[in-house]
């Protein structure tokens, strides 16, 4: 089997007549370092090309080695070109022989060709399997162990193809796959002094365990996995969009319902807002400084008005800062239909109270839209109407050592959500046809709510005053259009 060698490009030339008295002994002809008989140039060229193509080449990717033949990677020898070179080498009158003069050996370069497509396809598959973003070191509060950082890796396909081209032309047997490494921002060394002796803030929200919500639940888990165990050193900022990244299929997200323009529509990453809202509430009660937070364009059933946090990559974000003099750990876990977030740290110093008051409501309206996917004459509730709310909210943080308190005030506005009916324009309904519409119950929200967490309080101390908007039937009493009756859901009273 032929080995590789450094190749020197020699032109193929037409033979010319030499003197009949030229009696110089023919030189030894070598191709890729091996002597070659010149009895049948075409057969020799095919043999050399076949043997060369079967030689294995090793691709080294970090700790993994892949072995492929040169042919598998798109390498080949130009048999016609090599045949002409061998014939010229056997012809004493050729320009090739005349250039060699009295040399005892004549070395011919292999005319190697490289079709990059097979190697490119292989490298792209390797890139799909091995590329990963850097991950910061994290602290596992359950085991009290530090999870080491992991550098990011990105396979450079085009640079590797260039190296592979060189290796084929120079007879090399090993090619290191080019990778670009990106260091993590947080190292294990930086977390050696983290302590989680106290729970600074906590919050829970509920999610559906129904099969119809499986994609949304999947998205909840993907987003939570990118956050759970994250450490914020004193003065550091949590940026939801930076940590979770773009909500796309490449990052593991699936299409699921999202709120867009006040309506529920399918979108990639639906459910990320629930993770953001749950974490926001825990950070709120932990006394962390909220730098950016946005309410939704309609209330969410899983969390109280004023504690939700809308996120949408890259424009709408949740950002908060750890202004405690010690590191804090952000937790978010999902189990049994409950998403639970905690902020853990050295000690709980503050009593934090959330105060919310509904100052006004705005009546929702109704509309109809024709739907050819529904049988003719069928009328289905496509979206339950939700009143609009103007909400005053406060956070009161009291230092229990000094008894000093500070107050933060803001206003949230939730526009009303139109009640939409879908009217069928399709064919006649099949026998026993049952139309299914929006099954959400009436949205109720306590007119006045206070929630407190802090030293000496187990969980959350909550005071509720239903007022005009906190009891079932309030929208009918205010004259808003009503859909067919739906049983109130457990947990109403947001």
Q: Provide DSSP, 159-213.
A: HHHHHHHHHHHHT--EEEPPEEEE--SS-GGGGTT----EEEEEEEEE---SGGG
Domain boundaries, the chain: 28-179, 193-348, 349-494
Q: Is the dihedral of CA 366, 371, 377, 380 positive or negative?
A: negative
- Is it the case that residue 119 has pLDDT exceeding 50? yes
Indicate the pairing of strand 56-61 with strand 174-176.
parallel
Flag whether the pTM goes above 0.85: no
| pLDDT for res 493 | 58
The larger pLDDT score, comparing residue 348 to residue 27, is at 348
* CA-to-CA separations, 382 to 216, 362, 421, 476, in angstroms, rounded: 19, 21, 5, 19
- Is it the case that residue 404 has pLDDT exceeding 60? yes
Alpha-carbon distance of 160 to 148, in angstroms, equals 29
Q: Which of 381, 388, 212, 206 lies closest to 303, judged by CA? A: 206
- Is it the case that residue 20 has pLDDT exceeding 60? no
| pLDDT for res 17 | 41
Helix (H) or strand (E) holding 462: strand 461-465
Percent of the chain with pLDDT over 70: 91
- Is it the case that residue 486 has pLDDT exceeding 90? no
Q: Which of 304, 325, 339, 353 lies closest to 455, judged by CA? A: 353
Alpha-carbon distance of 478 to 468, in angstroms, equals 9
Indicate the pairing of strand 448-453 with strand 461-465.
antiparallel
Lowest mean per-residue pLDDT among 8-22, 23-37, 170-184, 433-447: 8-22
| pLDDT for res 265 | 60
């Amino acid at each position: 089997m032929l080995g590789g060698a450094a190749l020197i490009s020699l032109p193929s030339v037409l033979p010319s007549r030499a003197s009949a008295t030229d009696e110089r002994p023919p030189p030894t002809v070598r191709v890729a370092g091996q002597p070659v008989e010149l009895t049948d140039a075409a057969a020799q060229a095919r043999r050399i090309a076949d043997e060369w193509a079967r030689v294995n080449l090793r691709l080294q990717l970090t700790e993994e080695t892949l072995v492929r033949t040169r042919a598998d990677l798109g390498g080949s020898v130009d048999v016609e070109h090599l045949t002409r070179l061998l014939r010229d080498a056997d012809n004493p009158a050729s320009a090739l022989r005349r250039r060699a003069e009295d040399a005892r050996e004549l070395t011919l370069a292999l005319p190697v060709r490289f079709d990059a497509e097979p190697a490119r396809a292989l490298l792209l598959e390797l890139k799909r399997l091995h590329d990963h973003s850097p991950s910061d070191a994290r602290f596992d509060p359950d085991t009290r162990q530090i999870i080491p950082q992991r550098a990011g890796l990105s396979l450079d396909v085009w640079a590797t193809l260039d190296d592979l081209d060189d290796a084929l032309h120079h007879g090399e047997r090993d090619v290191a796959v080019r990778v670009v490494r990106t260091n993590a921002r947080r190292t294990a060394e930086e977390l050696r002094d983290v302590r989680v002796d106290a729970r600074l803030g906590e919050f829970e929200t509920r999610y559906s365990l129904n099969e119809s919500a499986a994609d949304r639940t999947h998205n909840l888990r993907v987003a939570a996995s990118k956050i759970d165990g994250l450490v914020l050193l004193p003065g550091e900022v949590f940026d939801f969009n930076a940590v979770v990244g773009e909500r796309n299929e490449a990052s593991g997200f699936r299409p699921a319902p999202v709120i867009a323009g006040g309506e529920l529509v399918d979108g990639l990453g639906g459910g990320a807002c629930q993770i953001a809202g749950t974490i926001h509430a825990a950070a709120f009660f932990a006394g962390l400084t909220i730098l950016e937070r946005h309410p939704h364009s309609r209330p969410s059933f899983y969390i109280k008005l004023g504690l939700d946090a809308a996120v949408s990559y890259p424009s709408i974000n949740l950002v908060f800062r750890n202004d405690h003099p010690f590191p804090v750990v952000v937790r978010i876990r999902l189990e049994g239909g409950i998403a639970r977030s905690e902020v853990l740290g050295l000690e709980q110093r503050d009593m934090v109270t959330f105060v919310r008051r509904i100052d006004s409501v705005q009546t929702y309206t109704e509309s109809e839209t024709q739907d050819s996917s529904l049988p003719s004459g069928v009328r289905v509730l496509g979206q339950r109407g939700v009143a609009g709310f103007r909400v005053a909210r406060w956070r009161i943080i009291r230092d229990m050592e000094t008894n000093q308190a500070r107050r933060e005030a803001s206003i949230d506005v939730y526009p009303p959500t139109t009640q939409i009916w879908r009217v069928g324009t399709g064919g006649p309904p099949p026998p026993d046809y049952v139309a299914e519409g929006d099954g959400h119950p009436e949205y109720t929200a306590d007119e006045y709510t206070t929630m407190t967490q802090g030293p000496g309080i187990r969980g959350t101390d909550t005071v509720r005053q239903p007022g005009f908007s906190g009891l079932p039937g309030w929208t009918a009493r205010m004259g808003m259009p009503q859909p067919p009756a739906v049983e109130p859901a457990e947990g109403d009273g947001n």
